[in-house]
Amino acid sequence: MIRRSAPLALCTALLSLTLGCFGSTEPASGDLAGQWVTAPENLQPNGWYQSHITFGPASAYTFEVRLYGLYPEESRDLLSSYTRLEGAYSVRGDSVFREIRREVSWDRFYGADSPEHVTDLTGNPYYRSGARYEVRGPVLVLHYLTYPADAPVETTVILQKVK
């Protein structure tokens, strides 16, 4: 069974992008702008998750991990929890930098009507990072570093453009 901290841990792992400087460069209005989604990933024993990234207007950025069907006797397609990071982004060359200002999370474990939990992250340097990106038609490829143990690991994630 997935522990309560699993959604946050999963989100943090997916978001551990290479630390970088957040620049004042305006975001690209072309290829990168829009909504992107990863392929669904199965979790054991029954659930699954999917990541969503939005590069919006006025440098608005969101990253959300949605988990489904996590709890016993829960439908595989029922939203179990989510963690959403909100902030801003900028682009320099083939790199995108983000600065997270707020984390919003919710978990059905506390009841379907339970409130969202909101954390202000403004100014926290841990939530500033960057990644090299490539847009290949409807596909966004992000290249960044994660730190699963004591050394950095090159990581790649592939997302599809949402129509």
Q: Which sequence spans correspond to the domains of the chain?
A: 6-161
The span from the CA of 53 to the CA of 63, in Å, is 5
4 vs 68, which has greater pLDDT? 68
Note the CATH number of domain 6-161.
2.40.128
Contact 16, 3 (CB under 8 A): no
Ramachandran angles phi, psi of 24, nearest 5°: -95, 5
104 vs 22, which has greater pLDDT? 104
Residue-level pLDDT at 30: 59
Provide the residue count of the chain.
Answer: 163
Structure tokens at 54: 């939005």
pTM of structure: 0.80
75 vs 15, which has greater pLDDT? 75
Residue-level pLDDT at 127: 82
Rounded to the nearest integer, the mean pLDDT of the chain is 84
In this prediction, residues 132-144 reach a mean pLDDT of: 95
